């Protein structure tokens, strides 16, 4: 796999049972690239390690005054330099390719899992953790996967050099052959502690990332309630914890680096001392002594890869564990579907609550428990929390449909929809039936002032559709973001559209116009709106009131206000004491008779 061929046509099915298994799966799926990196790494390391033999041969040729051997040594030295240059160049190319392709594979797997789970992902994994996995963690995973082949090449080179030294100069070669494994394994006792400290650092860094993400996402609200400094203090403390953990981890790795410097130095001293002793006895020539000494010095370079692979594994293991945790998440239902990929039509029915949304009608749902309303919206979208609890569309359980088919049939707009950064044209470029244009959807969602604000805030965009939207639409107000998200949902024109509190941040006059616009644009299509706003409820064809998880009353808004006290209490936000008093007086909160409230609603309609 080359970088130019990315993305993968199919990133595969990962082994997400654990972090190490996931790393091994990534390595096996890049075996061709790993073998290329191993081959070029062997050429590079062997060429570098052969330089001392060439230098020793040249020194001995000068001592023996042999011109032929000196020329041979020069030719071998030139050959080693060419092999070093070629091997290093292509090793770097293949190593970077392996790194990037491994990271790209992980990112594709995460993107596919995110699309597969939908909104259920952030309810099962913290948003900050998802951000950490998809950014910094993929780089560390790619680093380890790429480093394995280089480490293998370095280890094989050290083995070859040790064998060569034993053959070339058995006495000094034996010292090196014994000393090098000691150098390579000396850091092993320190690795568990270094790994634990790296795990702690990554855990605290993930927590800090989560806090930062939550703080930035809610900055407008925090400023409004004066809680900005409180959250900033929490992030400062988390940041300091990350700093202390990083310092503790760095101390351990610096100790490992010091050991990697100290022990080779001691080995060099031992080799020189023993070599001089052998040279005095005439058992070792000058060239052989130079060869062994230079070999030990050169071998500190491939030995560094033992430290690197240990560090790469220590940092990638928690990253792989987090990635495997996300990738192991599964939907409650089988997304392949047990029915044909045909979009059903008909009434939308939820067996758990008894909610019925007739086809082609605008149904409003009032629920006193926001959490219960959110779970019901998920079920209506074919995302039940338990198997077999899905809603039925035209008598067909949504969880028995293929995922793409179910999402085409029913679209659920969450209470807090996300606006991706980019132009407005890109935001509204979503899969749709083609029956609703951008202009109609923006008009129904009352986005005129939003378009003007986007053009005013843009430097070079005269057309509102080319205006840029910042990440998550943070430059817009809550009501403006809601209306843009509503327009995006209306463009898709699904068979069934489920809206969860689509106008909670919109003023009453705009809300009345939005309600009328949605009603007109969705005429003849099934629409379900979760709301407690009288303006939206009054324009619904049918209002369903849920109490304690079951349908308690069905009718129009004006009928239910008169006949259902529990419904009236939710819609008007009255307390139990106020409800009792109003039942006796025949009034609503504030002392206004029911007919006066209905007249006020009519006046708002006329103004809108």
Structural domains in the chain plus CATH codes: 7-327 (1.20.1560.10), 348-418+477-607 (3.40.50.300)
Q: Which residue, 334, 414, 345, 430, is CA-closest to 378?
A: 414
Contact yes or no for 57/76 (Cβ under 8 A) = yes
595 pLDDT exceeds 60? no
- In terms of phi and psi (left: phi > 0; alpha: psi -120 to 50; beta: otherwise), the region of 555 is left
pLDDT in tens, 178-220: 887 787 777 778 877 887 887 787 778 767 776 776 666 555 5
CB-based burial, 264-301: b 16+ in 10 Å, e otherwise: beebbebbeebbeebeeeeebbebbbbbbbbbbebbbe
Q: What is the DSSP letter of 471?
A: G
pLDDT, mean of residues 81-91? 93
pLDDT in tens, 145-155: 999 999 999 98
328 pLDDT exceeds 90? no
pLDDT at 58: 86
Contact yes or no for 536/501 (Cβ under 8 A) = no
pLDDT at 583: 56
Residue 356 Cα to chain centre, angstroms: 37
Contact yes or no for 526/359 (Cβ under 8 A) = yes
* Residue 478, helix vs strand vs coil: helix
pLDDT, mean of residues 277-291? 77
Contact yes or no for 468/461 (Cβ under 8 A) = yes
| Phi–psi pair at 227, nearest 5 degrees | -100, 10
Residue 362 Cα to chain centre, angstroms: 37
Burial class (CB in 10 A: 0-12, 13-18, 19+), 234: middle
Residue 56 Cα to chain centre, angstroms: 54
340 pLDDT exceeds 60? no
Structure tokens given for 106: 């992980």
Higher per-residue confidence, 608 vs 394: 394
pLDDT in tens, 112-147: 888 777 766 766 776 666 766 777 788 889 999 999
Structure tokens given for 89: 């160049």
Torsion of CA 389, 394, 396, 401, to 10 degrees: -100
Q: Which residues contact 382 (CB under 8 A, 6 or more apart)?
A: 333, 390, 391, 398, 399, 401, 406, 407, 409, 410
* Half-sphere exposure for 443 (CA within 13 Å, toward CB): 8
SS3 readout for 361-393: CEEEEEECCHHHHHHHHHHHCCCCCCCCCCCEE
Q: What is the mean pLDDT of the chain?
A: 81
pLDDT at 119: 64
Structure tokens given for 181: 């494994």
pLDDT, mean of residues 546-559? 91
| Phi–psi pair at 18, nearest 5 degrees | -160, 170
Q: Which residue, 15, 18, 28, 14, is CA-closest to 112?
A: 14
Cβ atoms within 10 Å, residue 5: 9
- Longest C-alpha distance within the chain, in Å? 122
Structure tokens given for 38: 């191993």
pLDDT at 99: 92
Strand partners, 546: 367, 551
pLDDT at 592: 46
Strand partners, 500: 530
C-alpha to C-alpha distances, 425 to 210, 469, 502, nearest whole angstrom: 30, 10, 21
600 pLDDT exceeds 60? no
pLDDT in tens, 342-374: 778 889 999 889 999 999 999 999 988 888 888
Q: Which residue, 263, 269, 277, is CA-closest to 293?
A: 269
Strand partners, 413: 499
Q: Which residue, 451, 474, 473, 475, is CA-closest to 463?
A: 451
Whole-angstrom Cα distance, residue 143 to residue 138?
9
Contact yes or no for 487/449 (Cβ under 8 A) = no
Contact yes or no for 499/413 (Cβ under 8 A) = yes
Higher per-residue confidence, 605 vs 476: 476
pLDDT at 553: 93
Whole-angstrom Cα distance, residue 337 to residue 603?
49
Kindly indicate the confidence band of residue 593, based on its pLDDT and cuts at 50, 70 and 90: very low
Burial class (CB in 10 A: 0-12, 13-18, 19+), 229: exposed
C-alpha to C-alpha distances, 192 to 195, 381, 546, 578, 591, nearest whole angstrom: 5, 47, 56, 65, 72
Lowest mean pLDDT among 157-166, 388-397, 480-489, 568-577: 568-577
pLDDT in tens, 529-542: 999 999 899 999 99
C-alpha to C-alpha distances, 328 to 9, 426, 565, nearest whole angstrom: 21, 31, 47
Whole-angstrom Cα distance, residue 213 to residue 37?
38
Structure tokens given for 335: 């997304």
**Treating both helix axes as pointing N-terminal to C-terminal, what angle do 19-28 and 286-327 enclose, rounded to 10 degrees?**
110
555 pLDDT exceeds 90? yes
Q: What is the pTM of this model?
A: 0.67
Q: Which residues contact 158 (CB under 8 A, 6 or more apart)?
A: 180, 184, 299, 302, 303
Lowest mean pLDDT among 124-128, 414-418, 421-425, 439-443: 124-128
* Residue 307, helix vs strand vs coil: helix
């Amino acid at each position: 796999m080359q970088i130019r061929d990315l993305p993968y046509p199919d990133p595969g099915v990962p082994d997400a049972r654990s972090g190490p298994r996931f790393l091994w799966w990534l390595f096996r799926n890049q075996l061709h690239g790993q073998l290329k990196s191993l081959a070029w790494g062997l050429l590079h390391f062997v060429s570098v390690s052969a330089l001392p033999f060439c230098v020793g041969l040249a020194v001995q040729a000068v001592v023996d005054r042999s011109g032929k051997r000196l020329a041979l040594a020069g030719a071998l030295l030139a050959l080693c330099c060419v092999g070093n240059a070629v091997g290093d160049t292509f090793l770097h190319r293949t190593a970077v390719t392996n790194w990037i392709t491994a990271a790209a594979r992980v990112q594709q797997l995460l993107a596919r899992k995110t699309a597969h789970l939908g909104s259920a992902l952030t309810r099962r994994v913290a948003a900050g953790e998802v951000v950490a996995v998809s950014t910094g963690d993929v780089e560390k995973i790619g680093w380890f996967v790429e480093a394995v082949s280089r480490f293998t090449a370095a280890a094989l080179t050290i083995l070859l050099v040790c064998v060569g030294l034993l053959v070339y100069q058995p006495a000094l070669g034996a010292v090196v052959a014994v000393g090098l494994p000691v150098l390579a394994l000396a850091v092993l006792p320190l690795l568990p502690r270094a790994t634990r400290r790296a795990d702690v650092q990554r855990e605290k860094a993930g927590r800090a990332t989560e806090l930062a993400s939550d703080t930035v996402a809610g900055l407008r609200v925090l400023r409004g309630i004066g809680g900005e400094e409180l959250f900033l203090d929490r992030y400062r403390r988390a940041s300091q914890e990350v700093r202390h953990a990083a310092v503790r981890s760095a101390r351990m790795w610096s100790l490992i680096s010091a050991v990697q410097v100290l022990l080779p130095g001691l080995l060099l001293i031992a080799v020189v001392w023993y070599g001089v002793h052998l040279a005095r006895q005439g058992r070792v020539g000058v060239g052989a002594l130079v060869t062994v000494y230079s070999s030990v010095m050169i071998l500190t370079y491939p030995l560094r890869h033992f430290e690197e692979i240990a560090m790469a594994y220590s940092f990638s293991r928690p990253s792989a564990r987090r990635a495997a945790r996300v990738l192991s998440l599964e939907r409650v239902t089988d997304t392949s579907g047990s029915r044909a990929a045909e979009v059903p039509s008909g009434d939308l029915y939820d067996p758990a609550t008894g909610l019925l949304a007739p086809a082609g009608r605008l149904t409003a749902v009032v629920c006193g428990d926001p959490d219960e309303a959110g779970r019901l919206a998920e079920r209506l979208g074919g995302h039940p929390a338990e198997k077999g609890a899905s809603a039925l569309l035209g008598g067909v359980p949504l969880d028995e449909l293929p995922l793409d088919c179910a999402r085409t049939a029913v679209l659920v707009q969450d209470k807090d929809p996300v606006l991706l950064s980019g132009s407005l044209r890109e935001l509204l470029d979503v899969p749709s039936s083609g029956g609703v244009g951008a202009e109609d959807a923006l008009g129904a969602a009352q986005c005129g002032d939003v378009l003007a604000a986007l053009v005013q805030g843009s430097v070079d965009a005269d057309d509102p559709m080319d205006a840029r939207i910042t990440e998550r639409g943070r430059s817009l107000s809550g009501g403006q973001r809601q209306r843009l998200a509503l327009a995006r949902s209306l463009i898709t024109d699904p068979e069934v559209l489920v809206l969860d509190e689509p106008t909670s941040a919109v003023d009453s006059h705009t809300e009345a116009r939005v309600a009328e616009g949605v009603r007109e644009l969705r005429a003849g299509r099934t629409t379900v709106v979760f709301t407690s706003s009288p303006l939206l409820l009054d324009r619904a064809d049918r209002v369903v009131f849920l109490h304690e998880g079951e349908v308690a009353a069905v009718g129009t808004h004006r009928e239910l206000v008169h006949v259902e006290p529990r419904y009236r209490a939710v819609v008007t936000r009255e307390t139990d004491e106020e409800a009792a008093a109003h039942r006796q007086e025949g009034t609503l909160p504030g002392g206004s008779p029911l007919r006066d409230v209905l007249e006020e609603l009519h006046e708002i309609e006329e103004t809108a």
